[in-house]
Chains A and B, each alone.
Chain A
Amino acid sequence: MKPAPFEYHLPTSLDETVEMLSKFSGDDGRILAGGQSLVPIMAFRLAHPNHLIDINNVVEFNKVDVENGALFIGATARHARFHTPVCKGILGNLLTSVVQHIAHYPIRQRGTFCGSIAHADPASEWCLVATTLEANMLAKSISSERKIDAADFFETIMTTSLAEDELLCGVQIPLLHDETKFGFEEFSRRAGDFGIVMALVAYREEGGVIVDPRIGVGGAEDRPRRIIEAENTLKREVPSDDVFRAAAEAAAAAIDPMEDHATNAQYRRDLTSALVRRALERAAS
């Protein structure tokens, strides 16, 4: 239950961080942000990196800002920052309603938004938010800088398209239209435990019918995903119980659920159907 030895590095700027990452990533060097997932994994010796690059002293990473129609979330912005809305409008409220589902209060004081994204646990609430709201991940290495669409970022369980020498230096989430309705629902067995399935939905109404529907499901598959088949059942429909049920059933039918020692695929399908329906009802209410 004690982490294996490693060398500790403490950069103070973005440039220094990517330089260190380029130097040490080939020798199993990792970024340490909040550490709320990495440290337990190290305690179990499931990970034993040779180098940890602690980015908590890089002042420029501790930034949450609205710029160019999107919310920018820097590499060390902690979950607790979202306990109250970080920006005006619907997006700030949405993030505040989601953050309460992430682990527990003391964990949220240390864990970071970008750390969750880079860790890519299929049961991560922030990964589901990033996918459903079409976030862009900003990746930087010593020689390159690129934006990665959420749809191309999450590859499978705890695996992303980041190269080993690339740092996730921030995430951009497009601001939401003022009339967007949203709902988030999650099922877990204990308060603060990993969600087994979670659903995030958002849509607007124009002339009484649904436009721009989004239905994202997390925890059910090996990565969070928008369920296009379910979104299509909502398009141009008048919101109603029947329409929501049809979308929920379409989502449950479209997923390829994970199984584990405690749950089978059918259980995750049933949860998906129930949670998508509840999230749509919450959005409508």
Chain B
Amino acid sequence: MTEQKNINFKINGKEYKIAVDPRWTLADVIRDHCGQTGTHLGCEHGVCGACTILLNGTPIRSCLMFGIQADGAEIRTVEGLADKESYHPLQKAFMEHHALQCGYCTPGFLMLAVGILEAQPNISDDELNDVLSSNLCRCTGYVNIIKAVRAAREEMKTT
């Protein structure tokens, strides 16, 4: 057996100190060992994007890196979007534009969209379509997701 190693990282501002097997993916560490099950696993080989999280502010597939590699990282997941009083503008926009049906892909889409809108608040529609093509949704046909993210782009500029 391989040796477990101790790592520290933050999820949504909360510090975690845990021992990990090197083979555990970051997605599994977040879900099974930190109890943050908002991050979903679809394909577990980088195709679907359901497990997208922000690693030091950048959207990445949490199934395509090992938890042990996140030592010292700041992670954000869907649980960190809403504050006590209100939903994040993106979450509101997803509700208003009916951008989800079954909801399985939604955490990944939200984190992908938050990451890109924070990095490029003035991103063009074409660039946004290209970024949103990263994740799979089998319910909505994407049209409402695109509408919601465009609406949130405008909303996030004013807040």
Q: Which residues of A contact B (CB under 8 A)?
A: 1-8, 35-36, 39-40, 43-44, 52, 54, 56, 100, 104-107, 109-110, 191-192
Contact = CB atoms under 8 A, between A and B. Distances in A.
Contacts, number: 86
A8 B3 CA distance: 9
Given A4-B23, A105-B134, A106-B59, A39 B64 contact: yes
A107 B63 CA distance: 11
B69 A39 contact: no
B59 A109 contact: yes
A38 to B, nearest CB: 9
B144 interface: no
Interface stretch (B44-52, B74-82, B87-95): B44-52
Contacts of B61: 36, 106-107, 110
B133 A8 contact: no
Contacts of B25: 2-3, 39, 43
Nearest to B134: A104
A100 B130 CA distance: 9
B65 interface: yes
Interface string B50-66: 00100000111101111
A105 B23 contact: no
Contacts of A43: 25, 44-45, 63
A128 B87 CA distance: 46
Interface residues of B, number: 31
Interface of B: 1-3, 5, 21-23, 25, 28, 44-46, 49, 52, 58-61, 63-66, 68-69, 112, 115-116, 130-131, 133-134
Determine which residue in B46, B58, B61, B69 has the highest number of CB atoms from chain A within 10 A of its CB, and name it: B46
A5 B22 contact: yes
A110 B62 CA distance: 11
Determine which residue in B45, B64, B68, B134 has the highest number of CB atoms from chain A within 10 A of its CB, and name it: B64
A106 B28 CA distance: 18
Contacts of B46: 36, 39-40, 107
B130 to A, nearest CB: 7
Contacts of B64: 35-36, 39-40, 107, 110
Contact of A191 (B22, B116, B130): B130
B22 A7 contact: yes
Given A109-B58, A109-B59, A192 B134 contact: yes
Nearest to A40: B45
Contact of B49 (A36, A106, A109, A191): A106
Contact of B22 (A40, A44, A52, A110): A52
Contacts of A105: 59, 112, 116, 130-131, 134
Determine which residue in B5, B66, B68 has the highest number of CB atoms from chain A within 10 A of its CB, and name it: B66
Contacts of A3: 23, 25, 66
Contacts of B66: 3, 8, 35, 39
Nearest to B46: A40
A219 to B, nearest CB: 19
A39 B116 CA distance: 24
Contacts of B68: 8
28 contacts: A2-B25, A2-B44, A3-B23, A3-B66, A5-B1, A5-B21, A6-B2, A6-B22, A7-B3, A8-B2, A8-B5, A8-B22, A8-B66, A35-B64, A35-B65, A35-B69, A39-B45, A39-B46, A39-B63, A40-B45, A44-B45, A104-B133, A106-B59, A106-B115, A107-B46, A110-B64, A192-B133, A192-B134
